[in-house]
Amino acid sequence: MPSFFIIIALLIAAATTKAQNILSASQVGYLRVDRFMYVLGGYTQVEAGQRSLTNQFFSLDLSKSWSTDSPPWEMLSPSAPNFLPKCVAVSKNQTILSFSPTSNGLNVGKYDIVNNNWTYIVPSTPEYLGIGIQPMFDPETNLIYIASLSYMNMFNYNNNIWAQVAIPSNIFSERYFPAAGINLPRRSIMYHGGYTNLQTWNQQTNLTEYLIDSSEWNTVTTTGDVPGPRADHCLAFSEDGNTLIIFGGRVPNTNTTVALQNHPTSEIYLLNLDSKIWKKGPNAPRGVIYPACVVAGEQLVSWGGEDFGGIIPALYIFDLSKLQWVNDYTAPAYYGGIATTSPPTSTNSLQPTPNPSSSNLGLIIGSVGGVLAVLAIIGVFIFYRRRNGKFSELPQTSAKGNGGYTEEGLEGNIRPISTPGSIALEPQNKYNPPARNPEGIQQSEWGHPGYTSHPRNPQGPYVQQQYS
């Protein structure tokens, strides 16, 4: 019996300890869900010939203020190791889906925010999507939108049903590794930068917009400090949807159009979506490829990434109102100064209603939450002990019915596709990814790249190569 209480004490200590063993990483998945920024997977080492995948998954509390030298990280239930997972929040922000392309399709991780656990499915896809996809979730249509080489693919995650609309050949030419984001006030998805399928940079980077309700594509004409070509950067919107922000990424070397000749950039740009005028902000302390960034209130929070020297162990804060980099994160006023210690059991939008400020209520909620957390940890401990460490089973999905799609209910240029079931989970870490990045480009120790193409995509090298 005493050993039982020792276990309880250890579990309580583990539950109350924050930021345990958070490793700096690059090529991570990330998103903001209400008051938390979530970071998933990636590489903790990217030096030539030495690449280390991680299964870490953690959150950063955005509801209280902190300094960049003491951020309130919290480790969560680990996922399957993966690189460049792309994440969306669904089910009224109760679930996070992570998309990790493989040579055979997609690994989709399903994270239950309330219960802090993962399950996995591998849905069949209507076409090869490649690495570097940018899934975007629209809560009105309840669909996940994934632009690939030829189509905008629309995925109903509830029943594994796909639909497609063709991308016009004369638009959105930079379809490899652009930055992207969904702007719900505008009802659109925006794509910026990337490579062409000829392995080149366009002389002028395009901003392409997909209008969700009409399934139309447009190139947005902009003026001002128009940013040059770039890829592997991050894109975010201000909370009112009026400002688009891009940061970091790789840009071409001087006097070249060859995509493989590039270097990291520390540039940040802001676009007023009403006037369509770009404004360049001051450079960050260091150039960074694959930064993870979200907007909270009037600040852009960027973490991790890499340059040609390795992982960047830095957390950068850019003040959107002052247009300057700062050392302290200031929580948005709508949080009312409430400090939280664990992910909420329910989340709604990016602008939540302030919580009550009563200290007694906070103490009661905190106490109840602490007890529930301990009980949950005990349950997980017993569950995993009984299963003897076995990995969670993968639910099999099947495409039954039409999932709400009907021929009459779709626009004429959208076609529904029923996909057959799912296959066994295919972990990315079995592949030995290329030395430079998972785009299929191999970087030597001295930074001179070579590349190999995936046999299922003859158009270019920017996909995962064939593995044995």
Question: Do 104 and 426 meet the contact criterion of CB atoms below 8 Å apart?
Answer: yes
Given a cut of 60, is residue 3 above it in pLDDT? Answer: no
Taking only the tens place, the pLDDT of each residue in 273-321 is: 999 999 999 999 999 999 999 999 999 999 999 999 899 999 999 999 9
Residue 346's CB is within 10 A of a number of other CB atoms, namely 11
Q: Please, what is the Cα angle at 133 between 129 and 139, to 5 degrees?
A: 110
The more confidently predicted of residues 22 and 421 is 22
Q: Parallel, antiparallel, or unpaired: how do β-strands 66-67 and 328-329 relate? A: antiparallel
Taking only the tens place, the pLDDT of each residue in 444-465 is: 222 223 222 222 222 222 222 2
Cα end-to-end distance, the chain, whole Å: 51
Phi, psi angle pair for 311, to nearest 5°? -70, 145
The more confidently predicted of residues 196 and 39 is 39
Given a cut of 60, is residue 76 above it in pLDDT? Answer: yes
What is the pLDDT, as a whole number, of residue 206? 86
What lies within 8 Å, CB to CB, of 191 at 6+ separation is 134, 147, 172, 174, 178, 179, 180, 207, 208, 209, 210
**Confidence category of residue 428, pLDDT binned at 50, 70, 90:** very low
Given a cut of 90, is residue 382 above it in pLDDT? Answer: no
Tokens read off for 85:
């997972």
Q: Which residue has the tokens 């190999």?
A: 452
pTM above 0.95, yes or no: no
What is the pLDDT, as a whole number, of residue 391? 26
Tokens read off for 21:
């063993």
Given a cut of 60, is residue 10 above it in pLDDT? Answer: no
Q: 128 vs 133, 184, 424, 455, CA distance in Å?
A: 11, 27, 17, 11
- DSSP-derived 3-state class of residue 36: strand
Q: Parallel, antiparallel, or unpaired: how do β-strands 277-280 and 223-224 relate? A: parallel
Tell me what the mean pLDDT of segment 376-402 comes to: 38
Region class of 41: left (phi > 0), else alpha (psi between -120 and 50), else beta: left
What is the pLDDT, as a whole number, of residue 53? 92
Given a cut of 70, is residue 228 above it in pLDDT? Answer: yes
Distance CA 209, CA 228 (A): 18
**Average per-residue pLDDT for the chain:** 75
Q: Which of 63-67, 209-213, 382-386 has the lowest mean pLDDT?
A: 382-386
The more confidently predicted of residues 374 and 193 is 193
Q: Helix, strand, coil shares of the chain as percentages rounded to 5? A: 10, 35, 55
Taking only the tens place, the pLDDT of each residue in 106-153 is: 889 999 999 999 999 888 888 778 767 899 999 999 999 999 888 999
